Structure 1
Amino acid sequence: MPVLTNNRTSSNNQPNSSHAVTVATKYSRRPNDSGWLKIRQEPSGKDAFLCEYTKVTMLKEKNGRTYFKVADGNSSWVGIEASMATENAEKYLSDVAPKAPATMNVKYHGNPVSTRSEIRGDTNKQQWAIASFDGKTAKVTLNSVWGGEYTPLPPGTHRIMAPDQSHANISTAGYKAAHPGRVRCNDVWFPIEVEGTTGNSSRYIHIGHLSEGCVTFYELLKWNDIYDYLIDKRMKEGKGKYIGKLIVEK
């Protein structure tokens, strides 16, 4: 196997042959509405998944597969070597880098109010707020579960983190099903690093009608807007861990 260089070698028809690829940085794209790109860990062969705009460093191409290193992000896959079928790598690894950091504002709206969810069919006391981003607004709930275990996100300047993993284990499929073909990437959640803490504070920006201290997009059809706004943003510091600021006011 040749050493990786900055010059592409010519291909040949020899079995098990390989050739070096030009050293390059690329960024992942979603292949479908799940929002997650499946890759193969090397050498274990186990699956891993990347959110959009995760940076990867290209390594080599061999036997119809493209190999790379996961170079940044907020997932447990950072630093691993992985591969994809070359035909998929050509589709879902892009030269387009993330944009400047995002800013999202959230302002409390009144006192908690009991509200029946048309989707879930249950009634919960909701702490409403209005989220503002990219010239748009959306109704969100900051808490639906009371009694001391969960509290609304406190005022402050928090940091939005890049998605960590699929949250399909906490089903939001019902919200997607309520609007066929109009909601996507519902399992891609954005962690929040609460001001004064370090790392994921177990609070997220996500779609839904039930909030456990998160910023939960109650207006389901606004979810695509916030996903599109956040996913292609990154802060310079943090090696791709952070997307931008979340400013919360009462």
Structure 2
Amino acid sequence: MSSIKHRHLGVKSSHRSALLRNLVTSLIETESIRTTWPRAKEAQRMAEKLITLGKRNNNAARQQAQAILFRPDEFLPKLFGPLRERYANRPGGYTRVLRTEPLDRDKKHRRDEREYNPGQSESAILELVDGPKDMRFALTARALVRQREREESEGAGNGMTEIMAANVRKVTRFREGGEEDLEREVRRLEREGRVRGAGRREEMEERDEEREEGRGYEDMNRNVVERTPQGYDLMRRRR
């Protein structure tokens, strides 16, 4: 009799099941969660199965999905509605796990917060792809903005690199209107960058004006002091 190996996650079997169900329910609700790397990988299995059930869209699939989700009355409509439509043409890979900096759960018990803690858990983000919180989509858009700024400053356009083109294909291939969404996000980031740049320039100009005003006040005070008897004495000593 064969059995599928899985991570025990350091908890009992009943607790493990409830833990994963809770993570998957939070994923369906928010579309992006942060947890430890082992928990993210195990929750990913359950989430992939759950979305596959949503794509089947029959009574048996609804019953199985209801057994997985906490608060099914709240999240079944999303699973069998918007998510099913989003992933209708995607053959699989509805979720993505991204490594992040470790979650330090023992920080408050350490004397030096900068000290490395070998016992801290590997951390990860589990997210639904092609959604509003798709991190790879956002990172690809930022990379495109940087590339266009570089081409504009250098006055030459060499086009996208192979890696950039591959990343663009990955984030737009199964996303409905993916190329248009990506271009829209790039333009939004470019506008924000111009606004931030203008704000920085105004701030620097204000600081320069304040410095000039400060120098003016210093010169005025110096002239006032020099016109007093004490000022004349001070000028004689300097000479």
What TM-score, normalized by structure 2, do the two folds share? Answer: 0.24
TM-score for the superposition, normalised by structure 1: 0.23
Structure number with the higher helix fraction is 2
